[in-house]
Structure 1
Amino acid sequence: MEWKNLYRGFIMGISDLIPGVSGGTIAVILGIYDRLLDAISGFFSKRWKEQLGFLIPLAVGMGTALLLLSRLIEFLLENYHEPTQFFFIGLIIGVIPLMLKQAQPKKNFGSRHYIILALAAILIASMAFLNPEKTTEPITSLSLLSVIGLFFSGWLASMAMLLPGISGSFILLLLGVYSTAINALSTLNIPVILVIGLGAVVGFIGSSKGIKYSLSHFPHITYAIIIGLILGSLFVVFPGMVTGITTLIFCLITFILGLSVTMLFGSEKKLIKGKSDK
């Protein structure tokens, strides 16, 4: 068992509770993104037993964070929204130099790569102008229609989670399901958790294989997309101009803390693997 994945999963679980913050970005920061894709893809193959040592501690860590901290995250976002968001802005900004160092755009990017990067950034940044209803009444009992809706919501959210820069929680927010998911976790509504979770599992399978294929066959284009998604996510997470000297100081502290966490986990080894574009 890779027991280090307990704390890695815990950190990823926290990020997955925050609308606008990508679990994929956190996986990149922790240096396990490529391994995560391999493990998810391999788990649904003949090599599934080989992946248990990696996935079980990671899943336990994520599940623990989701169950224990869902109410805390709600509290922080409601009462300390700006400092909380600036912590994650620090995390996101910290990963950009690491990604640029790995992608080596001066060497590997042409005009098409920069166009793709810009389009990906604009696509995600545009979500900052959306105003999803955050006070949607949570679904607590299931019907056939709600089961279908929650299943596909979990599917779409999990696909977003694996892509750095796209937040699964924000996708749930756009779909009007975020309050349902948080309420289910807070109250341990097992049927609702299982429906969303099953959809998430299906989404993880498909997206992990797709991302892995893209990194293997079109790494430079994939890097351009990922960097664009990460840059665009800054606009989604940014809470607006901060007013008040006390709040400003707290935001500066949390921003530096987030930046420091990224620098701590960032290393010289490759964070995401790729071969060469065809």
Structure 2
Amino acid sequence: MALGERVGHVLRGTAIGVAEAVPGISGGTIALVTGVYERLIASAGHLVNTVRYAVSDLPRGRGWTRAGHQLRQVHWEVVIPLLIGMLPGLLIAAKLLEPLLADYPEQTRGLFFGLVLASVLVPISMIGRPWRALEVGALVAAGVAAFLLTGLPHATIEPHPVVVLVAAAVAVCALVLPGISGSFLLLTVGLYEPTISAVNNRDLGYLAVFAAGMIIGLSLFVKLLQWLLEHHRRMTLAVMTGVILGSLRALWPWQSEDRDLHAPGDHVLSIVALALVGAAVVTAMVIAERRRLRRAARDLTEETYETTHVR
């Protein structure tokens, strides 16, 4: 893999890390927009299999063969640069975006609204044409469900280790499911601020429990999602599209603390301008990614032709 592509994956990881810290934006959406989503899902599935085979085979003396084979299937050339970029992205977002959400909530949500709205074009284009009636129905149902979920009022829950473990297991699903924001789920149950505080203050006890919950959540969820993408790809993408559209409710700039939606009010021009900027950023990312894929496909075709011609 070329150095430029590795750097690109680090930057993609940074964007995913930032997204995971922002309520309303899904890291899975950013992964989908930047073209690394399916390789991430496949790699996560192989890692889960590695652990499963290691736990079952090694104690029985069957060796490392099956686990080692799964480990070699991981797209390390993508996963490692993404992880390198995700950590600083998450830390930077935790420091900078939290005060922006507190001091300029409407403008910040406007920017995020534009980002997420433009990203919905990615799963739609992946489905292609024609859309079947069942897929349209799945999109609508998923959109309504996401709309209702993102309208739930804030809750306040004590950050007991068991609660943190369960919340992390659920929230981490958002890392691999476009349209669902892990930070937003934490915000809904009242654990967003304690988690951000733990990140900023390096509360290793809290973070260790949270990390354990993430591992449990990924182990339970990622294999199901991988199976759905392999066997029901179009329907799964249709549901993802509906979830992304429905979750835009959480990013509507004009809403109360109880998440009641209001008509456009103050700062309309600045909010609309920021939404357009957000949409333009995602559109540029999508165009750049498609050009990269076309260039890679062209290079592969030329390489295949040259190899065949020499022979």
- TM-score, normalised to structure 1, is 0.85
Match of 2:196 among 165, 170, 182: 182
Match of 1:14 among 18, 25, 28: 18
Coordinate RMSD, CA, aligned: 2.1
What is the distance in 1 between the residues matched to 2:133 and 2:81? 42
Q: Is the 8 A contact 2:179 2:240 kept in 1?
A: yes
Q: For residue 27 of structure 1, what is the aligned residue in structure 2?
A: 31
Match of 2:249 among 204, 218, 235: 235
What is the distance in 1 between the residues matched to 2:278 and 2:39? 23
Q: For residue 116 of structure 1, what is the aligned residue in structure 2?
A: 138
Q: For residue 148 of structure 1, what is the aligned residue in structure 2?
A: 162
Matches within 5 A, 1:1-278: 2-44=6-48, 45=50, 46=68, 47-49=70-72, 50-104=74-128, 106-107=129-130, 109-133=131-155, 136=156, 139=159, 146-240=160-254, 241-244=263-266, 247-267=267-287, 268=290
Quote how far apart the aligned CAs of 1:150 are: 1.0
Quote how far apart the aligned CAs of 1:103 are: 0.8
Q: For residue 299 of structure 2, what is the aligned residue in structure 1?
A: none
Quote how far apart the aligned CAs of 1:138 are: 7.3
Quote how far apart the aligned CAs of 1:255 are: 1.0
Larger Rg: 2
Distance 1:137 1:125, change over 3 A: closer
Question: How many matched pairs?
Answer: 258
Q: Which amino acid aligns with 2:195?
A: A
Q: For residue 276 of structure 1, what is the aligned residue in structure 2?
A: none
Q: Report Cα offsets for 1:225-268 as digits up to 9, x if no partner.
A: 01111110111211224433xx2232122212211111111144
Quote how far apart the aligned CAs of 1:75 are: 0.5
The answer for unaligned runs of 5 or more in structure 1 is 140-145, 271-278
Q: Is the 8 A contact 1:124 1:236 kept in 2?
A: no
Q: Report Cα offsets for 1:179-230 as digits up to 9, x if no partner.
A: 1111101111111111112211222233222111101101121121011111
Q: For residue 275 of structure 1, what is the aligned residue in structure 2?
A: none
The answer for unaligned runs of 5 or more in structure 2 is 51-67, 255-262, 295-311
Please identify, of 201-210 and 211-220, the stretch whose mean Cα deviation from structure 2 is larger. 201-210
What is the distance in 1 between the residues matched to 2:22 and 2:181? 8
Q: Which amino acid aligns with 2:277?
A: L
Q: Which amino acid aligns with 1:239?
A: P
Q: Which amino acid aligns with 2:217?
A: G
What is the distance in 2 between the residues matched to 1:175 and 1:81? 20
Q: For residue 274 of structure 1, what is the aligned residue in structure 2?
A: none
SS at the partner of 2:7? coil
Q: Which amino acid aligns with 1:243?
A: G
Q: Is the 8 A contact 1:43 1:51 kept in 2?
A: no
What is the distance in 2 between the residues matched to 1:63 and 1:96? 25
Identity value in percent = 27
Q: Is the 8 A contact 1:42 1:51 kept in 2?
A: no
What is the distance in 2 between the residues matched to 1:236 and 1:69? 18
Q: Is the 8 A contact 2:17 2:89 kept in 1?
A: yes
**Greater relative contact order (Cα < 8 A, sep 6+):** 1
Q: Is the 8 A contact 1:82 1:242 kept in 2?
A: no
